[in-house]
Amino acid sequence: MRDFLFTDEVLVADTESATEGVEAVAETATESVAEPTTVLENVTNIENIKEGVAELFSYDFSTLMQLFIDGAISFAMKVVAALVVFYVGRWIIRRVLSFMDKVYKKRNVDESLRSFLSGIVKVLLYVLVILVVIQILGINTASLVAMLASAGLAIGMALSGTLQNFAGGVMILILKPYRVGDYIDAQGEEGTVKSIGLFSTEIITVDNRIIYIPNSTISSAVIDNYSTSATRRVDWTVSVEYGTDPEKVRKVLLDIITEDKRASNEPKPVVYLVELADSAVKFSARAWCKNEDYWGLKLDIQERIYTELPKNGISFPFPQLDVTVKKTIQ
């Protein structure tokens, strides 16, 4: 009985030891399975490297040299073709610009417009040649073209006002509603055109003020160009008292105008009675002169009218009001 109990205790002890061993083995197995993916990846990478090395050493040296030589020849041919296209394209661009310059001179195109149009055409043609060269070298140009288009759109939106002035300047230089040196009246400003830029027009007024008018505004405005003709008409309005002889007024005014050599005899100066106003009789005197003599003639004759009419017994009227008073008898 004692032996049986001893044996039973030994069996229990052995059973507990076996259980602990199994648990230890299970934990070890669990830790080993915890990272199966990493182990598999490492094994796969090693296998790929082995296969690559084996494939590399499987090639014959002569085969490798042949592949290298073929690739070098192919790339060299692409480079040569790209260089040929570039230099031929540059030659064509020069011929196009030379032809454009001849056309400009023949049609008497403004110098500033010449340089601008030639520059734009030159840039566009060179961009086209470069894109062709890049395509020959085997580089994909689709992404490059998309990037350039996006950049152009962004710049256009940011500079919309400036581009409007630019477009107006181009239209002015092409259509030529006025030139440098012309005397114009536009946007309420009157003066001589000093310069025509791509973005604005510079005008010098008679009192020596310099005014810059945006081309987008002036190109769409009403422009009165006094320099389109060699001569210009000068008008004077003269008011005299009621009761003055119209023929006498006409004779005195014509004598004043014809005595000035700047007034043209063809067509001859004329004087009209134009209005019977409330307090005066109004006459309009008209004469023609050269453009450069306009202001001098107008101001000098104006002063002579003021001094000569009273000498000839012709009075200037003053505003008057007749008041009638009625007396009521009570």
151 in any annotated domain:
yes
- When mean pLDDT is compared over 52-61, 94-103, 298-307, the highest value belongs to 298-307
Query: Which letter does DSSP use for residue 316 in this model?
Result: P
Residues 241, 268, single domain; the answer is yes
Q: What is the mean pLDDT of the chain?
A: 78
In angstroms, the CA 125 to CA 100 distance is 14
Q: Is the pLDDT of residue 64 over 80?
A: no
Per-residue pLDDT at 326: 72
Among 205, 227, 249, the domain boundary falls at 227
Residues 213, 136, single domain; the answer is no
pLDDT > 90 fraction of the chain, expressed in percent and rounded: 24
Residues 274, 212, single domain; the answer is no
Please report how the helices 111-136 and 61-107 are oriented relative to each other, as an axis angle in degrees rounded to 10: 160
Model confidence pLDDT, tens digit, residues 110-119: 766 777 778 7
Residue 222 structural domain: 177-227
290 in any annotated domain:
yes
Structure tokens at 224: 């009165």
Angle at 124 between CA 112 and CA 137, to 5 degrees: 150
Q: Is the pLDDT of residue 89 over 60?
A: yes
> For 76-80, 149-153, 194-198, 273-277, which range has the lowest pLDDT when averaged over its residues?
149-153
Q: How distant, in Å, are the alpha carbons of 79, 89, 150 from that of 145? A: 21, 19, 9
Residues 238, 283, single domain; the answer is yes
Residues 147, 199, single domain; the answer is no
Q: Is the pLDDT of residue 303 over 90?
A: yes
Other CB atoms within 10 A of residue 280 CB: 19
Q: Are 300 and 275 a contacting pair, CB within 8 Å?
A: no
Q: Is the pLDDT of residue 26 over 50?
A: no
CATH no. for residue 219? 2.30.30.60
Secondary structure class of 213 (helix, strand, coil): strand
Q: Is the pLDDT of residue 1 over 50?
A: no
Residues 149, 75, single domain; the answer is yes
Q: How distant, in Å, are the alpha carbons of 174, 177, 217, 232, 237 from that of 227? A: 18, 11, 21, 8, 24
97 in any annotated domain:
yes
**What letter represents residue 66's amino acid?**
Q
Tell which wins on pLDDT, 197 or 274. 274
pLDDT > 70 fraction of the chain, expressed in percent and rounded: 76
**Number of domains composing the chain:** 3
- Segment 176-197 mean pLDDT: 85
Whole-model pTM? 0.49
213 in any annotated domain:
yes
CATH no. for residue 286? 3.30.70.100
Q: Is the pLDDT of residue 18 over 80?
A: no
Per-residue pLDDT at 8: 44
CATH no. for residue 81? 1.10.287.1260
Q: Which is nearest to 255 in space by CA: 305, 289, 306, 310?
A: 305
The whole-angstrom distance between residue 325's C-alpha and the CA centroid of its chain comes to 71
Per-residue pLDDT at 153: 76
Per-residue pLDDT at 300: 93
Structure tokens at 172: 């002015």
Model confidence pLDDT, tens digit, residues 271-291: 999 999 888 999 999 999 998
27 in any annotated domain:
no
pLDDT band at 29 (very low <50, low <70, confident <90, very high): very low
Residues 106, 130, single domain; the answer is yes
Q: Is the pLDDT of residue 238 over 90?
A: yes
- Segment 156-180 mean pLDDT: 77
Residues 104, 133, single domain; the answer is yes
Per-residue pLDDT at 6: 39
Residues 104, 137, single domain; the answer is yes
292 in any annotated domain:
yes
> For 37-46, 143-152, 214-223, which range has the lowest pLDDT when averaged over its residues?
37-46
Other CB atoms within 10 A of residue 180 CB: 13
Tell which wins on pLDDT, 139 or 245. 245
Structure tokens at 143: 């992404």
